[in-house]
A and B are shown apart, each in its own frame.
Chain A
């Protein structure tokens, strides 16, 4: 698993983990992030159960595990946070921030204890004496309870599944090198996984007001500098919800069969 420091200034650090070469092909590749303020750590979307060994071993190089104070799960998917019980087993005092919508679902991953529900409008996450990490509503992007996280110090936006790309195995660049060539890896995902054009426009408008140097998603390459703006513009123009929008004029075969049975 590759680690790369994305930011380190004024006591704030961002570290990226991803491209786990040892990961079996049956699992989608994910990115995990560690945010450190002073010496307190916050893990963003720490990942699935199966990749826990790779993530925890990479994280221990950056911070002592006891220094990790909180976990943020952008939404409920297993690739986001099914490793939760293992993190809690190592440190039961962890604060776990999850969208309130999922606060009774995510504990099914194990750990059997309460998590901290994030209200729909978002909130600030305190970390090592700071209180500037902002959870930005990203509902229905793709999950019905979903947040992005913005750090005004590092000017980094952690966007979760938004901006996700499914990259070929030999693609080793951490950052997007050519936005136009990158579109092919993310177009199908955004069209199919994002359900609502209204929700998408709302999110684009919301984050467009932020000063973003880097946008870092949970899958695929990271966006930096002008590519952030390119991405937002591309997403704004994209029509999403393809499974419904492209619905064939004819009824799907399965539906027909159902009717016949009756």
Chain B
């Protein structure tokens, strides 16, 4: 059975992975921006013939801008997630230290072995079990304060996981909008620019290089986006699974 700590570590790893994917997307958008200037120049040279290509280039630029705004939005959501995970790790660490302390107190009382070795598992009934142990304690028991903090902290963690679950859903929403723009639009623009450049290849073959560049960039964007999207799905699934497990405690 996995512990809460393992799950937190996994969530943190996933969140960082999502952020890395965003980081990969940004320079691609920058490159699109630069490339669109050259493409504009080339299509202008063609005059009337280059008009449709010029429209495509304007669309490519607009897509890059749209993606940039969406990524900013996703990054904002992402930092809220990271913050929640950090708070949570702190509370979880505190609980671990209190548990080790209770083990140590019990070991002293017992002349060696702890009375109850702590197992911080995500199992149904764990929280009820703690609550039972806490209320069964003698009011003078030295571990009472620590048990109280542990039970309180677990409530905090549960709220935290619920918040994270909501955030994961929001992050998924933004990512699916990015997905829509990045994969569909970029594919469409890549194809139309290829067709358009082929049409005017007799007059100016430089547009073919431009179109090829658009195609490659569109490909890279779709790949980076797909990675972010996969990671977000995994992140959301884990957050949902954890909130289910914690609700069952």
Closest to B105 in A: A57
The verdict on A57 contacting B107 (CB below 8 Å), with A49-B97, A86-B97 known, is yes
The verdict on A90 contacting B142 (CB below 8 Å), with A52-B101, A53-B104 known, is no
Instruction: Provide the bound-state CA to CA distance between A139 and B142, in Å.
Output: 37
Report A1-54 residues with CB < 8 Å from chain B CB.
Answer: 49, 52-54
The verdict on A57 contacting B108 (CB below 8 Å), with A64-B140, A86-B97 known, is yes
Q: How far is the CB of B104 from chain A (nearest CB, A)?
A: 4
* 9 A-B pairs whose Cβ atoms sit less than 8 Å apart in the complex: A49-B97, A52-B97, A52-B101, A57-B108, A60-B143, A64-B142, A66-B145, A89-B149, A91-B145
Q: Which of chain A's residues have a CB closer than 8 A to the CB of B97?
A: 49, 52-53, 86
Do the beta carbons of B145 and A57 come within 8 Å of each other?
no
Instruction: Say yes or no for B94: interface residue by CB 8 A criterion.
Output: yes
Instruction: Provide the bound-state CA to CA distance between A193 and B115, in Å.
Output: 42
Instruction: Say yes or no for A125: interface residue by CB 8 A criterion.
Output: no
Instruction: Say yes or no for A85: interface residue by CB 8 A criterion.
Output: yes
Q: How far is the CB of B37 from chain A (nearest CB, A)?
A: 38
Instruction: Provide the bound-state CA to CA distance between A66 and B140, in Å.
Output: 10
Do the beta carbons of A86 and B104 come within 8 Å of each other?
no
Give the bracket for the number of chain A residues in contact with chain B: 10 to 19
Instruction: Provide the bound-state CA to CA distance between A61 and B107, in Å.
Output: 12
Instruction: Say yes or no for B44: interface residue by CB 8 A criterion.
Output: no
Report A66-102 residues with CB < 8 Å from chain B CB.
Answer: 66, 85-86, 89-91
Q: How far is the CB of B173 from chain A (nearest CB, A)?
A: 33
The verdict on A65 contacting B145 (CB below 8 Å), with A53-B103, A57-B107 known, is yes
Instruction: Say yes or no for A56: interface residue by CB 8 A criterion.
Output: yes
Do the beta carbons of A56 and B104 come within 8 Å of each other?
yes
Q: Which of chain B's residues have a CB closer than 8 A to the CB of A58?
A: 108
Q: Per-residue CB proximity of A207-244 to B under 8 Å, as 1/0? A: 00000000000000000000000000000000000000
Instruction: Say yes or no for A110: interface residue by CB 8 A criterion.
Output: yes
Instruction: Provide the bound-state CA to CA distance between A85 and B103, in Å.
Output: 19
Do the beta carbons of B94 and A85 come within 8 Å of each other?
yes
Chain B's interface: helix, strand, loop or mixed, by majority?
helix
Instruction: Provide the bound-state CA to CA distance between A91 and B107, in Å.
Output: 23
Top 8 A-B pairs ranked by shortest CB distance? A60-B142, A57-B104, A53-B100, A53-B101, A57-B105, A53-B104, A56-B101, A90-B145
Q: Which of chain A's residues have a CB closer than 8 A to the CB of B146?
A: 56, 90
Do the beta carbons of B101 and A57 come within 8 Å of each other?
yes
Q: How far is the CB of B116 from chain A (nearest CB, A)?
A: 14
Instruction: Say yes or no for B130: interface residue by CB 8 A criterion.
Output: no
Do the beta carbons of A89 and B104 come within 8 Å of each other?
no
Instruction: Say yes or no for B90: interface residue by CB 8 A criterion.
Output: yes
- Knowing that A53-B100, A57-B105 touch, tell me 11 more A-B residue pairs with CB under 8 angstroms: A52-B97, A52-B100, A52-B101, A57-B101, A57-B104, A57-B107, A60-B143, A85-B94, A86-B97, A89-B149, A110-B90
Report B90-133 residues with CB < 8 Å from chain A CB.
Answer: 90, 94, 97-98, 100-101, 103-105, 107-108
Report B58-109 residues with CB < 8 Å from chain A CB.
Answer: 90, 94, 97-98, 100-101, 103-105, 107-108
Q: Per-residue CB proximity of B143-155 to A under 8 Å, as 1/0? A: 1011001000000
Do the beta carbons of A54 and B104 come within 8 Å of each other?
yes
Q: How far is the CB of B5 from chain A (nearest CB, A)?
A: 16
Report A234-257 residues with CB < 8 Å from chain B CB.
Answer: none
Instruction: Provide the bound-state CA to CA distance between A60 and B105, in Å.
Output: 8
Q: Which of chain B's residues have a CB closer than 8 A to the CB of A61?
A: 108
Q: Which of chain B's residues have a CB closer than 8 A to the CB of A57?
A: 101, 104-105, 107-108
Instruction: Provide the bound-state CA to CA distance between A52 and B95, in Å.
Output: 12
Q: How far is the CB of B220 from chain A (nearest CB, A)?
A: 37
Instruction: Provide the bound-state CA to CA distance between A35 and B140, in Å.
Output: 21
Q: Which of chain B's residues have a CB closer than 8 A to the CB of A56?
A: 101, 104-105, 146
Instruction: Provide the bound-state CA to CA distance between A185 and B146, in Å.
Output: 37
Q: Which of chain B's residues have a CB closer than 8 A to the CB of A54?
A: 104
Do the beta carbons of B142 and A65 come within 8 Å of each other?
yes
Q: How far is the CB of A156 from chain B (nearest CB, A)?
A: 25
Q: Which of chain A's residues have a CB closer than 8 A to the CB of B98?
A: 86
Q: How far is the CB of B214 from chain A (nearest CB, A)?
A: 43
Instruction: Provide the bound-state CA to CA distance between A65 and B97, in Å.
Output: 16
